[in-house]
Structure 1
Amino acid sequence: MTGTGTVPDLRTGQTRNLALATLAFTISFWAWNLIAPLGVSYAEAMGLSATEKAMIVATPVLVGSVGRILAGALTDRYGGRAMFTVLLLLTAPFVLLVALAGTLGSYPLMLLFGFFLGIGGTTFAVGIPFANAWYEKSRRGLATGIFGAGMGGTALSAFFTPRFVRWFGYTATHVIIAVALVAVAALVWTTMRDSPVWTPNTSPVVPKLVAAAKLPITWQMSFLYAVAFGGFVAFSTYLPTYLKDVYEFDLTGAGTRAAGFAIAAVIARPIGGVLSDRLGPRRVAATSFAGAAVLAVVVALKPPPELLAGTAFVLLAGFLGLGTGGVFAWIAVTAPQERVGSVTGIVGAAGGLGGYFPPLVMGATYDAVTHSYTIGLALLCIVAVIALIYTLVGVRTPRPTATSSPADGG
C-alpha cells in the first residue's frame, strides 16, 4: 500500500526491470565463469596438476558464494538498482587482472584474482529480492525463474570465451567482457527502477542476517539449493575439463558441449518456476532430485558420444535446472517479504558453496588410468537421493491459503 491507500501498479515497468535484472545477471555470470572455459589451456601453460586445475576453476565460486550473504542483506537496504550497478563495476577490473595473471603464467595470481572475480557471482542475491518486489506472490515463481535464466551467462562463457580468444586474442577477450560489464552497469543505473512497493530495510546488517538465519525455511532451502544449484555450477565449470579427460574433446569442442549443458539448465529453470506456481515447489524439487540421481549413474557409466552421452548430460542439466527454479519459488511464497534479500543471500551462498567443493572432489578422485570420475558421480547420486528424501519428508511449510500460491504442493 502507498501512503494514499492505493495499490501501486506493478505491471508498469515490470517487464523492463526484470529484463534489465536478467541482463545484468547474465553478463556478471559470464565474467564469473571466465576462467573455467580456459582452464585446460591454463593447466597446460602452467603445468598444473588435476587438483591445481580444479582449484583455479573453483576459486571464483567461493567469493561468489559467500559474498551473496552480504549482497542479499545490502539489497534489502539499498535496492537492486544500486547493488547491480556497484557489483558490475567492481567485477570489471578483476576481469582485466585475470588476463594479466594468465599472460604472466602465474598460478598464485590466477588464484588471487580469480577469488575476487567471484564478485560477479554475488549478483544472484540481488536479483531475487528485486524480482520478488516487482511481482505479486502468485507470479513470483515465474519471475524468479526468468531472472534465474541469467545463469545462462555460464553457457555464453563456455561457448564464446574460447572462440573470442581465437578470434580476437586472449587479452582483447577480457577487455571486451570488462567493457560489457561497465556498459551494462551504466544501463542499469540510468534505466532500472526499484519496485514501488519496495521499501529500504534499514536495520543493521548483522541482526538482519541473524533474523534470517533463525527462519527454518532458510536452512531447509539452503540444503536443497546447495544440491540443485551446486550441481549445476559444478558441472558447468568443470565440464570442459571432464569432457577432455573422459572423451578427449579439444578446448573448443568441450566448451561447446558445456554450453549446451548450461543452456538446458537455463531453459529448465523458469519452467521449474512456472510449474511450482501451478503444482507446488515440493513436487518440482522432488522430481529434480530423483532425475539427478538417476542421471548421475548414467553419466558414470560413460555412455558413448555423441548422442547417448549428450542426451544424458542435457537431461541431467534439465533436472538440476528444474530444482533451482523450484527452490526459489518455494522461498518466494514462504519467506517474509522484508527478509527475502537476507534469506536469498544465505541460500544463494549455500548454492554457490555447493558448486565450490564438487570440482575439488572430482579433481581429487579422478582416475587417470581409466579416465574415470566414477567416485565423484557416485557421491552426486547419493547426495541427490538424500535431498529427495528430505524434500518429501523433511521440509515442513505452512499450508497454502486461498490467496497464495501452493507452497507445499499438496
Structure 2
Amino acid sequence: MIKKLQLSLQTMNLVLGFMVWVIISSLMPFIREDINIPAGSLAMVTAVPVVLGSILRIPLGYYANIVGARIIFMVSFILLLFPVFYISRADSMTDLIIGGLFLGIGGAVFSVGVTSLPKYYPKEKHGLVNGVYGMGNIGTAITTFSAPVVATQIGWQSTVQLYMILLAVFIVLNFFLGDRREVKVKTPIIEQIKGVYKNEKLWFFSLFYFITFGSFVAFTVYLPNFLVANFDLSKVDAGIRTAGFIALATFLRPVGGWLADRFQPLFLLVGTFAMYTIAAIVLAFSPSIGLYTIGSLAIAVSAGIGNGVIFKLVPFYFNKQAGIANGIVSMMGGLGGFFPPLMLSAIHGITGQYSIGFMLLSQVALASLIIVVWMYYQDKLALVSEVFDSTAQGILVTDPAGYIKTVNPAFTRLTGYEADEVLGQRPSILKSGRQSEDFYSKMWSEIKQHGIWQGAIWNKRKNGEEYVQWLNISAVKDETGEDVRYVGTFSELNQQQLKA
C-alpha cells in the first residue's frame, strides 16, 4: 500500500517544494512597495533561489539513493522553515538575498523523486512516471497565481508565513506515508561521478535540460515583472498569464514522457528544439502582446515536452548511476533558470530591449537541434557496431579490389589472426590450397552475376591448422549498381555437419 502511494506523495512534495521556491519572484511587485530594490538588482534577487536549488540537486539525488526519498524530503522541508520565516520578516534587499538563497532547497528536491520513483516501475514506464512527477512544476504556477491574490488581502509578509503551515503538514505526511523500505543504493559518490563524467551523453542531456527546464524557470521568474513593466498589465493579470505559461508547460511534461515511452525520444527532441528556435526568433522582434503570447506559449509547449523526454533518456542511459546523473542534469537545468534573467537584464540595460537575448536562445536551440540529429545517427552507428562486434560469425569486409578493410572479433577467434595482421591483405591469406583456381573463378563469377555466393570451403588458421567453414559472400552495391565492397560471413563446420 505504501509503495503505491509514492508517486502521488512525491509529486505533491515537489509541488510544495516549487511553491516555496518561487515565493520571492511571485510576490516581488508587493515586496518592492515596502523594500527599495534598484531595477538593476531585481533580476539578481529573483534569480538567487535558483543557485542553491541547482547545486544541491547533485547531493540530494545521490543521498536519495543512500537513505531514501522519505528522509530527504522530510529534512528538506524542515530546513525550509527557517528561510521562509526569515523572508517574512525581511526589511532589506540583503535579507531577501540571504533568505532567497536557502529557498533553493525547495527547487533542489526535484532530483529526489526522479531518482527514487523509477525503482517502483518497469523501464517502459519510466518516461510517463518521471513526467507525472515532473508535474510538480505546477507548484510554481500555484504560487505565482495565488500568492498575489492572497497578498492583496493579508499582505505579503503574512502570505509568506502561510507556507510554514504547509511545510509542517508535509513533514508529518512524509513521516507516516513515506516508504521506509525503499531500495537503497550505496555506491560511493566518487565512483558514480567517475562512471558518468566522461560520457558525452551526460553533458548533451545537461545542455538540453539547461535549455528546456532553464527556460521554464527563467520565464516563471521573469514574466510577472516583464508583463507589468512592458505591457502595463496589472499585477494580478500578469500573475494569471504567468500561471498559464507554467500550467501548460507542466501538464505537457507527462505527455512528453508518455510519448518518449512509445516513440524515438531523439526524434521528439528534434521537434522540440525546432519549435524553440522559431518561437525565440518571434520573441526577438519585440512583438505585440498577441504575438508575444503565442511565442511564450510555444516556449511552454517545447519546455514541457522536452523536460518529459529528457528524463526518459537519463535513466535509460545511466541506470546504474541514476542518482548522480539525475542530479547533474537537473542541476544544469536549474542553472539554466539562473543565468537567462540576469543576461536579459544586462542586455536590456545596455540596449534598452531584450531582442539579443531571445535571438541568443534561438541560436542555442538550433545548435541543440543539430546535436540531437548527430546523436540519433551516432546511436544507429553504435547499434550496427554492437551487432558487428558481438555476432558469433566471423566477418570480413573488403574493398572492390579485394583488400580487407575490417574484421570483427569473431574473425580473430576463428582464424587466429588479429585485425592488424590482415588489414590491407587479401583473403587469400586464409587459403588452405585444397580448392583449385577453377573453384574460385566459378565462385567470383556467381558473385558478379547474382551478388551472392555461399558454400563450404577449406581454409587455414594462423597456426597452420586446416578446417572447413561455411562461407557467405555478398556484394554491396552503390546507387549505380557498381560493387563497392564485399562482405564475407563464416562459421566453422564440425564433423557431424560435414556428414549431414
User: Do Structure 1 and Structure 2 share a fold, with TM-score over 0.5?
Assistant: yes
Structure 2 CA distance, aligned partners of 1:216 and 1:185? 38
Q: State the partner residue of 1:247.
A: 231
Q: Is the 8 A contact 1:289 1:320 kept in 2?
A: no
TM-score, structure 1 as length reference: 0.88
What SS does structure 1 have at the residue aligned with 2:254? helix
Q: State the partner residue of 2:254.
A: 270
Structure 2 CA distance, aligned partners of 1:207 and 1:108? 39
1:378 aligns with 2:359: yes
More helix by share: 1
Q: State the partner residue of 1:391.
A: 372
Q: Percent identity?
A: 31
Q: State the partner residue of 1:348.
A: 330
Structure 2 CA distance, aligned partners of 1:188 and 1:71? 16
Q: State the partner residue of 1:66.
A: 55
Structure 2 CA distance, aligned partners of 1:29 and 1:50? 25
Superposition deviation, residue 314 in structure 1? 1.8
1:314 aligns with 2:303: no
Structure 1 CA distance, aligned partners of 2:293 and 2:124? 36
Report the aligned-residue RMSD.
Answer: 2.1
What SS does structure 2 have at the residue aligned with 1:162? helix
1:153 aligns with 2:118: no
Q: Is the 8 A contact 1:141 1:332 kept in 2?
A: no
Of the structure 1 ranges 108-117 and 198-207, higher mean CA displacement relative to structure 2 is found in 198-207
Q: State the partner residue of 1:360.
A: 342
Amino acid at match of 2:308: G
1:191 aligns with 2:161: no
Q: Is the 8 A contact 1:50 1:364 kept in 2?
A: no
What SS does structure 1 have at the residue aligned with 2:162? helix
Q: Is the 8 A contact 1:145 1:269 kept in 2?
A: yes
Residue 323 and residue 242 in structure 1: after superposition, are their counterparts in 2 closer, same or farther (change >3 A)? same
Structure 2 CA distance, aligned partners of 1:96 and 1:19? 27
Amino acid at match of 1:322: I
Superposition deviation, residue 99 in structure 1? 1.5
Amino acid at match of 1:156: I
Q: Is the 8 A contact 1:24 1:185 kept in 2?
A: no
Aligned match of 2:270 in 274, 286, 291? 286
Q: State the partner residue of 1:332.
A: 315
Residue 376 and residue 15 in structure 1: after superposition, are their counterparts in 2 closer, same or farther (change >3 A)? farther
Structure 2 CA distance, aligned partners of 1:43 and 1:365? 22
More strand by share: 2
Amino acid at match of 1:293: T
Q: Is the 8 A contact 1:226 1:351 kept in 2?
A: yes
Superposition deviation, residue 355 in structure 1? 0.8
Amino acid at match of 1:152: I
Matched residue count: 382
Superposition deviation, residue 54 in structure 1? 0.2
Q: Is the 8 A contact 1:230 1:356 kept in 2?
A: yes
TM-score, structure 2 as length reference: 0.73
Amino acid at match of 2:323: G
Q: State the partner residue of 1:405.
A: none
Superposition deviation, residue 43 in structure 1? 4.0
Q: Is the 8 A contact 1:59 1:111 kept in 2?
A: yes
Structure 2 CA distance, aligned partners of 1:274 and 1:166? 39
Of the structure 1 ranges 309-318 and 252-261, higher mean CA displacement relative to structure 2 is found in 309-318
Amino acid at match of 2:215: G
Structure 1 CA distance, aligned partners of 2:25 and 2:127? 30
Q: Give unmatched runs, 5+ long, in structure 1.
A: 1-11, 402-410
Question: Can you list the C-alpha shifts for 1:265-304, whole angstroms capped at 9, x where unaligned?
Answer: 0011111000101112211222111111111122233333
Structure 2 CA distance, aligned partners of 1:24 and 1:209? 27
